Amino acid sequence: MLNETKLKKAATAIQNSKYSIAFTGAGISVESGVPPFRGENGIWNKYDPKTLELDYFHENPLESWEVIKQLFYDFFGKAKSNKAHIVLAEMEKKGLLKCVITQNIDNLHQQAGSKVVHEFHGNSHKLVCTKCRSYFDFKLVDFDNLPPYCEKCNGLLKPDFIFFGEGIPPDAYQNSVEAARMAEVVILIGSTGEVMPAAQMPYLAKQNGATIIEVNPNESNFTNSITDIFLKGKATEVMGRLSDMIY
């Protein structure tokens, strides 16, 4: 049962804020059928993480691509935005949310209608040529012939998300830091706070005086360290109720 007092407190904080942002992790997409990487039903319990190591990918492109196809294109590509994604997009449209900082690579925020999304770990819906750096929409790539190669230069194509051994995209990092520093409210959804440096963003916002509203089914690394209002529950349910109170 959601705590009405906490919901009202969170809604009031958002209504009074001049600069609110959202910070999202795998938990917001679980209800869209996207499995998390870590935890009980996590992807790394079924697949070897080395297939997403940059060096291994270049040395064993076929083996890596066979796993990548199964994970991100046979299944993830069919996922649809849920109520939580849609509420955030509506908040942005109404001027109540400045941006979303996300650890996710599933494109579901954009699918829901969010315009300003800082993707800390990239996006699986684009592929990039490792040779000429051309970009391709994943829907235009033939995954029946692996590994896929660039139609322009015949270089190896790679999903445009961060592999182990790769750095965070500089623009996404800088934009996220700037938004975190300016934030008066952070709506933190579905992140355990385990993955760095992404998880530093809510801490940075807190250091600058932001109110942290956390939406999670269970306590996270954030809950007892920086969270001001903990709304325990599923992202779709909590964000739906919060939306009703805000408007």
Is 58 part of the annotated catalytic residue set? Answer: no
How does 160-198 read in b/e, with b if 16+ C-beta sit within 10 Å? bbbbeeeebbeebbebbbebbeebbbbbbbbbbbebeeb
Give the active site residue among 85, 109, 118, 121.
Answer: 121
The residues annotated as belonging to the active site are 121
